[in-house]
Structure 1
């Protein structure tokens, strides 16, 4: 990044921080921020980083009284950032491997960058770092839905009961067969899939992988499967 781009990014971050002070994005603030974004011309990677920082700011400011206003502020800024994002085919698919934190950090980044919807279809979830990130987004208003396997919810360390207790809707495959999918969908745009289970063992020991894609065709195929399973499977609270 050039010095000029660095200065633009610093100014943009300053404007965004200033805009949350009154919990509302006024027209003049929108104009200034959009002008800076156009000059900066963020690619997808920088756009995702900025959206994640917006969420962090919102989380630091939100309370019971200003929840609706802060949520609207987040939505408005997200639209601004995405409206000027530069398309870059070179980063349309990203691949990560474990052991190590590469897969974990990619998953956390995708969760923290999502605003509207996170739909998860996984054999098991037992990594508290991921579960805490999901609860955080859920409390900020992101719609989180989870499909998982009924046998794995009884494993030691499973976070499914905790996630359900936080108000996240969950459905399970209540049969002798396994719901063995491992994919997640973010903001009706991004698909994450691969062998990686969202567990500590996968991060520390296993040779696993994930792929994150913004392909519309791939998203549609997985979205169709998610909706099919969601309509067929059993509510967690009924097992």
Structure 2
């Protein structure tokens, strides 16, 4: 095709060409059709007590619990993870490296029973608040896994049963796990 004919073709079919380019750019999104999910629970704080709903689900874990936590000071959640480990459940936790200095009291019992903990310093902050239970349950929301989240802050989280969502979160979790560094020392509790 000669240059002048090509130019005429492009001008005449500019909308078709733009449409094809847009469709090509959107093609990777085509596989993201709606997926079924069962909402197992939705919690808000205040009032306090949402942590009990979360620990109930952790206590029901059979195979694995994977955690991505920005803050992790909740002794109740820590105790539920220890119980899971003692039942033979694989438990792994990624915490934000910068906020890890505040997490000693809740992290120490995990390390003592052999739960693998890693610090993620790859980002300005690792701000995820996610738990994956048994490859089909996702816990996510604004709720930090902290005492303040349950007793003082306005927070929320939902617990979803969805193999699709759990798989997507597990893929993201694995990326963070790969670049996070193993915890080498549990921070001492800060004196007040």
| Fold shared by both chains (TM-score > 0.5) | yes
1:216 aligns with 163
Q: 1:116 to 1:177 in 2, by over 3 A?
A: same
TM-aligned CA deviation for residue 94 of structure 1: 2.5
Q: 1:169 to 1:94 in 2, by over 3 A?
A: same
Mean Cα deviation higher: 171-180 or 227-236 = 171-180
Aligned residues between the structures: 151
TM-aligned CA deviation for residue 238 of structure 1: 7.4
Question: Gapped runs of 5+ residues in structure 2?
Answer: 1-35, 187-192
* Counterparts of 2:143 and 2:153, CA distance in 1: 9
Q: Secondary structure at the match of 2:184?
A: helix
Q: Which has the larger radius of gyration?
A: 2
Q: Secondary structure at the match of 2:142?
A: coil
* Counterparts of 1:134 and 1:152, CA distance in 2: 19
After TM superposition, the score normalised by the length of structure 2 is 0.72
Mean Cα deviation higher: 169-178 or 194-203 = 169-178
1:19 aligns with none
- Aligned-residue CA RMSD (Å): 2.2
Q: Secondary structure at the match of 1:121?
A: strand
2:172 aligns with 225
Say yes or no: does 1:236 pair with 2:183.
yes
* Counterparts of 1:156 and 1:118, CA distance in 2: 19
- Between structures 1 and 2, the one with greater helix share: 1
Q: How does 1:189-208 map to 2 (within 5 A)?
A: 189-208=136-155
Q: Secondary structure at the match of 1:225?
A: helix
2:45 aligns with 98
1:51 aligns with none
TM-aligned CA deviation for residue 166 of structure 1: 2.1
TM-aligned CA deviation for residue 192 of structure 1: 0.4
After TM superposition, the score normalised by the length of structure 1 is 0.58
2:75 aligns with 128
Instruction: Please identify runs of 4+ aligned residues in structure 1 that moved more than 2 A.
Output: 89-94, 100-103
Q: Which residue, out of 56, 60, 63, partners 1:113?
A: 60
Say yes or no: does 1:185 pair with 2:132.
yes
TM-aligned CA deviation for residue 228 of structure 1: 1.0
Deviations 1:38-60 (A, max 9, x none): xxxxxxxxxxxxxxxxxxxxxxx
- Between structures 1 and 2, the one with greater strand share: 2
* Contact 2:122/2:180 (8 A) holds in 1: no
Q: 1:171 to 1:156 in 2, by over 3 A?
A: closer
* Counterparts of 2:110 and 2:66, CA distance in 1: 13
Question: Gapped runs of 5+ residues in structure 1?
Answer: 1-88
Deviations 1:208-239 (A, max 9, x none): 00011112221111111001111111111279
* Counterparts of 2:178 and 2:74, CA distance in 1: 27
